Structure 1
């Protein structure tokens, strides 16, 4: 791999592709089974930090000298937002800190030539368009059923225009901003963002919607992890309790995000649509893993459908 080596890591290099400065990360070369670490690989942090003109002032500082396992246990005291979901007060504190960090991230001036960008990653894209018949055999039965439901509910039309780019609203994105890519100290006052391999240009609502969708998904998932014979009313009560916890955390995040003077404004309607899209991404991840289109993905699609079809109902959640 050609290009300038970053952070003394030969597999992470900065180079120019089609006139654009990018950061390219290859596998370490230790074989397919090489361990990447539970939460973070320091190389990803160094690659992301290299996107800043002055690495030392990056709002999400990269502790480059740490290995992944040591970083998660020593530097972050082993706390992820997943561990804070049962402590709503601490979770909201962490989300407030994360809101400020992401606001600073999105508020960076990215107009100079000295910036490097990570190449666009494929990520997860729910099948909004009908799936070609020739592709059905490569998908699990659960994913096919999910795709049929997405098509039947008309998500392609509901989300039309949302996923396009708006030239004057391009910011530096984390690209995979979900709750489990945010680490926090035990009291929630200090956070770090991890796993930067999807970083690049995009609209701010992409990051914000991904985070909101991941929190809603996890709280709904926890509510549904009970015996299959649970009564519908009891399930709905648990889901409602969980989503209220998620909405509280989302509100704390957005309130702090808006206190950053350099952060871009949030388009609430686009935010609702991007959150719906994120919910579909999580449903797809579930069906690809479990091969089932069962209780959880069905609930996620239902919430996403309501959010995409009636965004006005949800605007208050994002303002």
Structure 2
């Protein structure tokens, strides 16, 4: 709670997307917030693509402004930020796979060490540091009823991080949600899905690009992680989600495996998702 109370006391009063704070106790880590009647983004991202797209510029602009605040009161800014969960190598002797093709995918990923290495490289690479939310799951992004707009909650992990952190979390969360709603079952061969030419559906692609473009526009030439760093972070975020969700199971589901393939595709061919978007 220490970092969350710091955020509400020092930073969030000027951030339009934070819920109204009624009380921050001076002596104890206590925060009292105004109740917000809202719908989390994960409930509407697939069913209301136009509404989701309309929310992206406001969300991105507010997060970019938060990042730019890192130059103010730098000495008081909390320097610790929780990293993505570490990924252990996939244990092929323990992991039960759904098909020979699946085994081939896991072996290929592990032999190149592409995806697990992406987590470390995305966080360790050079890049501007600034204030970030750090836990931008889609259920932490809310659309209030009935007024619309956007509210972001759960700031307890906030702190210093790279530009690509918030971008990677938002876009990675949207892609993970899409992957989890594909019409797959345990008998589906992920290789067949990837060979079918399926790509992230247009609404997710449009929302992802809209978010990044609005973020970069607000930064107005300020130092920003390069395109490669951000796409690597998005892929790393997908991988971290995949393995954190399957920690207690011995079988990666078809949806998990497709998520790994999407992450790999972002690393190898980011243009397929983001088109001509560059910075």
TM-score, normalised relative to structure 2? 0.75
Alignment partner of 1:267 is 2:223: no
Deviations 1:192-216 (A, max 9, x none): 2222222211211122112111100
Deviations 1:230-281 (A, max 9, x none): 7989967999475432211111211221231456435211111111101101
Deviations 1:119-178 (A, max 9, x none): 332542323xx47x9xx99x9868xx8986642242169637433142x61111111223
CA distance in 2, matches of 1:299, 1:122: 24
CA distance in 1, matches of 2:274, 2:38: 35
For the Cα contact (< 8 Å) 1:169–1:203, is it kept in 2? Answer: yes
- Secondary structure of the corresponding residue to residue 86 of structure 2: coil
- Unmatched 5+ residue regions in structure 1? 1-11, 14-22, 24-43
CA distance in 2, matches of 1:197, 1:239: 40
CA distance in 2, matches of 1:68, 1:201: 21
Q: Which moved more, 1:153-162 or 1:231-240?
A: 231-240
Which of residues 43, 46, 52 is equivalent to 1:83? 43
- Unmatched 5+ residue regions in structure 2? 24-29, 98-102
CA distance in 1, matches of 2:145, 2:193: 30
CA pair 270-188 structure 1, distance change in 2 beyond 3 A: farther
CA pair 241-65 structure 1, distance change in 2 beyond 3 A: farther
Which of residues 15, 21, 26 is equivalent to 1:58? 15
For the Cα contact (< 8 Å) 1:251–1:317, is it kept in 2? Answer: no
For the Cα contact (< 8 Å) 1:108–1:172, is it kept in 2? Answer: yes
How far is 1:218 from its partner? 0.4
Which of residues 123, 126, 134 is equivalent to 1:163? 123
Q: Which residue of 1 aligns with 2:26?
A: none
Task: Note the 1:1-319 alignment, pairs <5 A.
Answer: 12-13=1-2, 23=3, 44=4, 46-52=5-11, 55-65=12-22, 75=36, 77-85=37-45, 86-113=47-74, 115-117=76-78, 119-127=80-88, 130=89, 150-155=109-114, 159=118, 161-166=121-126, 169-186=128-145, 189-224=148-183, 228=186, 240=198, 243-261=201-219, 264-311=223-270, 313-314=272-273, 316=275, 318-319=277-278
Q: Which residue of 2 aligns with 1:16?
A: none
CA distance in 2, matches of 1:156, 1:241: 19
* Aligned alpha-carbon RMSD (Å): 4.0
TM-score, normalised relative to structure 1? 0.67
For the Cα contact (< 8 Å) 2:116–2:239, is it kept in 1? Answer: no
CA distance in 1, matches of 2:247, 2:32: 27
